[in-house]
Amino acid sequence: MSEDKKVIVSAGKDVDAAVTAGLARLDLPREAVEVEVLDEGRQGMFGLGARAARVRLSVTDEGERERVAPSPAPAAAPPSRREEPVKKQVVREVRREPQAEVSAPTEAEPTEADKIRVAREAMKGLLRAMHLTDAHVEVERAESGPNEDEEPPLVIDVKGPGTDILIGSDGEVLSAFQYITRLLVGRSMQCWVHVVVDVQGYKAQRADRLRDLAHRMADQAADTDCAVILQPMPPHERRVVHVALFDDPRVTTESIYEGDRRRVTILPEED
């Protein structure tokens, strides 16, 4: 056996699966190798953050002899007293009329009720995994914005004892928690679903402050006849400003720049 076949590294969903895969590659039984666990792996939460297990299989001297030992030749079949006559197979060509192609049925689009149900189940599953079983979950569609072609997000509102740990400093933990929730909902629905997660009314209170800021900056833009550029904001906060000023005839709003620098500018309407 070559040196590269005496020691191999194998992977699997767990240690047993990794060992089984390695034995199949070596074509040896379990007793012919020594196993060293390199990484026990991790299942992760709901399939996220999973890591495969890895093992190193070293072939023992006895296992190597078993591998290189020649297999006994199969015993010759006893001669038949009478050979059966060979039957000829007759192949007939059958002509079939061409048929119309039938397309595979397409899956129905998820309904609003499906999206709400999946979003609620995903959130409750996350909260159970974090031992926040007393938390209360509500899911509803946000109000429509100025862009009629844009579907407003599903807002998942989480309240209850202990849930404030999901907010973190300046909402950083909440942003990460929302990202995981979107992944779970998208995986279940097999499509992108715009989900916004709020905890203990943190984002609702932030939205109230943003609306007040938007109206004050609109007054400034209209009084000075100069554009007002706000600080960079994430998409859901920019949307709050756009919606707040949508019906204000004195100003218009638009987003400028890209990436983390993207922000809202408030422009006075021309007379």
> What pLDDT is stored for residue 18 in this prediction?
85
Asked whether residue 60 carries a pLDDT value surpassing 60, the answer given is yes
Q: What is the per-residue pLDDT across 212-262, written as a single tens digit (0 to 9) for each? A: 999 999 999 999 999 999 999 988 889 899 999 999 999 999 999 998 899
Q: Are residues 208 and 239 in the same domain?
A: yes
Residue 152 placed within a domain: yes
Q: How confident is the model at residue 94 (pLDDT cuts 50, 70, 90)?
A: very low
- Per-residue pLDDT, averaged over 100-120, amounts to 71
pTM of the model: 0.52
Residue 72 placed within a domain: no
Q: Are residues 223 and 164 in the same domain?
A: no
> Last residue of a domain, which of 45, 66, 87?
66
Q: Are residues 195 and 230 in the same domain?
A: no
Residue 56 placed within a domain: yes
Lowest average pLDDT, out of 69-73, 143-147, 216-220, goes to: 69-73
Residue 196 placed within a domain: yes
Contact 22, 57 (CB under 8 A): yes
Contact 243, 146 (CB under 8 A): yes
More confident residue, 184 or 169: 184
Q: How confident is the model at residue 200 (pLDDT cuts 50, 70, 90)?
A: very high
Contact 78, 38 (CB under 8 A): no
Q: Are residues 209 and 261 in the same domain?
A: yes
Partners of residue 140 on adjacent β-strands: 155
How many CB atoms sit inside 10 A of residue 182's CB? 19
Residue 80 placed within a domain: no
Q: Which domain holds residue 153?
A: 112-200
Q: Are residues 167 and 231 in the same domain?
A: no
Total structural domains within the chain: 3
* Cβ-Cβ contacts under 8 Å for 163 (sequence gap 6 or more): 127, 132, 135, 199, 200
**pLDDT mean across residues, the chain:** 81
Residue 78 placed within a domain: no
Q: Are residues 135 and 174 in the same domain?
A: yes
Q: What is the per-residue pLDDT across 12-37, written as a single tens digit (0 to 9) for each? A: 888 888 888 888 888 888 888 899 98
- Alpha helix ranges (H) inside the chain: 3-6, 15-26, 61-68, 112-129, 172-189, 202-224, 235-244
Contact 11, 53 (CB under 8 A): yes
Which CATH number belongs to the domain containing residue 159 in this structure?
3.30.300.20
Task: Give the whole-angstrom CA distance, residue 46 versus residue 185.
Answer: 11
Q: Are residues 117 and 190 in the same domain?
A: yes
